[in-house]
Amino acid sequence: MPYDSSLDETLFSKSWETESDRITVSVRSYNKGEKKLQLSRESKNAQGELRFAKLGRLTKGETAAILPLIQEALKVMA
């Protein structure tokens, strides 16, 4: 069965932003299935527009900043 965006539900979404990046922590469920945590990064280009980027590795500061968001997301997943 192909992916159907109308079945993809966002149950929680919060972001942490710096001058150059935004990391979003979200909980999503597809077709009323298992709730899953999603982490994504967007980086600003030269024009200041946000563009999707690979999350890759997190610095200690980034990890500390999004940890409270992950803990909130865990409550939604319960």
Question: Tens digit of pLDDT for each residue in 1-18?
Answer: 799 999 999 999 999 999
Answer whether 68's CB lies under 8 Å from 25's CB: no
- Cα–Cα dist 64/8, whole Å: 29
pTM of the model: 0.90
Query: What is the extent of the structural domain holding 68?
Result: 5-77
3-state secondary structure of 66: helix
Domain count along the chain? 1
Alpha-carbon distance of 69 to 22, in angstroms, equals 13
Chain segment 40-57, per-residue pLDDT in tens:
999 999 999 999 999 999
Confidence of residue 20 (pLDDT cuts 50, 70, 90): very high
CA–CA dist 14, 45 (Å, integer): 22
